[in-house]
Amino acid sequence: MDKVGIAGIDRFNSSPEGWHPTDFLPGCKSVVVFCTRVPDGAVNAVLRECEDHLMSAHGIYGAFGYVGAPNYNLLWANYKLAMFIEEKTGCIAVPEPAGPTHGAGMLSMRHAAFAAGLGEFGWNSLILTPEFGPRNRFGAVLTTAELEPDPMYSGPRLCDPSKCRVCVTMCPTKAIPTYVKDQGRVVSVGGKTCTYGGTNWARCRVMCHGTIPEYNETGENLIPKEMTNPINEDLDKPIFEFYNRNPRMHFHQHNPTWKCGYCLVYCPVGNWKERFEDRGLTRVRMSKMVDGWEAG
């Protein structure tokens, strides 16, 4: 794993009912959270799809940046760590699935990663780490073992949405709200407070699940004619009707959940300039979307 942190159970005091670690493991005392970074090569595949319209390249991201290798990598790390903790301590350890192909939400992985000190929320609602920005995928193990917690992240502020508009601009369905001072979702854990935009999931699913015809393997137009603009206030109904007609897409979450990801790919945090701009892998000019960005 590329990073690991431990959160004591007190950091989940403000978890909503049904999402608290003790709901899944009575007596849970610690949550171990770790991540695997998204390879630059998988990010490049999304750049090729987005900027060169090489649609087939996106599969590289699906396989090696999202539901394929990274989720399996997390799955095995989860399993081995849980076994290790049980063998060494005699306590119970519950591994948490990492997302598509292994089930969806049990614990909010973003809150768990924040609570374990791995990084902070970006305006795009993803957890940013100083090393990789949002380009990490997280796994977690809940355990009744009392482990020494790590401090909350206390490095430099990573996201300043008053200066950066990248995720808002790049999101094709306007699922990420425009930054407005004193608006957004506030989260306070372990004495650290962050504000993030809050993603509109109905809009995000239009892209992520390939539910617009350009992306959708079924060829079906999910959005009714009168709603051809995907930036629509009422996308939930057609989306759920679509899943009812195509239950495979809903329950298995295999092929169609790995589209888009532009908010993850283009976020400048995590040495984006060195990794992608300086290597000539993108034609998108950050200087147009980030105040004070060194002209490029």
What residues make contact with ligand B12 under the rule CB under 6 A?
Answer: 12, 14-16, 19, 66, 98-99, 104-105, 107-111, 115, 124-127, 134, 136-138, 187, 189, 199, 201, 204-205, 208, 257-258, 260-261, 263-264
Cβ atoms 230, 223 nearer than 8 A? yes
At its nearest, how many Å lie between ligand SF4 and the CB of residue 153?
Answer: 15
Question: If binding means CB under 6 A, how many residues of this protein chain bind ligand SF4?
Answer: 25
- Give 290's contacts (C-beta < 8 A, 6+ positions apart): 163, 164, 165, 166, 268
Residue placing its CB nearer to ligand SF4 in the complex, 9 or 159: 159
Helix or strand or coil: residue 160? Answer: coil
Helix or strand or coil: residue 77? Answer: helix
Closest CA to 171 of 269, 267, 70: 267
109 binds, among ligand B12, ligand SF4, none (CB under 5 to 8 A by kind): ligand B12
At its nearest, how many Å lie between ligand SF4 and the CB of residue 147?
Answer: 30
Q: Which two tokens stand for residue 278?
A: 């300086």
Q: At what angle do helices 236-245 and 201-208 cross, to 10 degrees?
A: 40
Helix or strand or coil: residue 44? Answer: helix
At its nearest, how many Å lie between ligand SF4 and the CB of residue 197?
Answer: 8
Residue placing its CB nearer to ligand B12 in the complex, 70 or 145: 70
Single-letter amino acid code for the residue at 29: K
173 binds, among ligand SF4, ligand B12, none (CB under 5 to 8 A by kind): ligand SF4
Residue 107, judged by CB atoms within 10 A of its CB (0-12, 13-18, 19+), counts as buried
One of 15, 44, 78, 124 touching ligand SF4 (CB under 6 A): 124
How far apart CA 51 and CA 169 sit, in angstroms, is 15
The CB density around residue 198, as the number of other CB atoms within 10 Å, is 14
Binding of ligand SF4 by 123 (CB under 6 A): yes
Which H or E run includes 73? helix 69-89
What Cα–Cα distance (Å) separates residue 81 from each residue in 85, 201, 251? 6, 31, 27
Residue placing its CB nearer to ligand B12 in the complex, 28 or 204: 204
At its nearest, how many Å lie between ligand SF4 and the CB of residue 96?
Answer: 22
At its nearest, how many Å lie between ligand B12 and the CB of residue 250?
Answer: 11
Residue placing its CB nearer to ligand B12 in the complex, 8 or 89: 8
Residue placing its CB nearer to ligand SF4 in the complex, 78 or 253: 253
DSSP 8-state code for residue 64: H
85 binds, among ligand B12, ligand SF4, none (CB under 5 to 8 A by kind): none
Closest CA to 107 of 38, 39, 30: 30
127 binds, among ligand B12, ligand SF4, none (CB under 5 to 8 A by kind): ligand B12
Stretch that binds ligand SF4, among 48-56, 74-82, 157-165, 249-257 (CB under 6 A): 157-165
Binding of ligand SF4 by 129 (CB under 6 A): no
Tell me the CB-side half-sphere exposure of residue 6, using CA atoms within 13 A.
Answer: 13
Residues 246-265 that bind ligand SF4 (CB under 6 A): 260-263
Residues that bind ligand SF4 (CB under 6 A): 122-124, 159, 161, 164, 166-167, 170-173, 175-176, 199, 204, 207-208, 260-263, 267-269
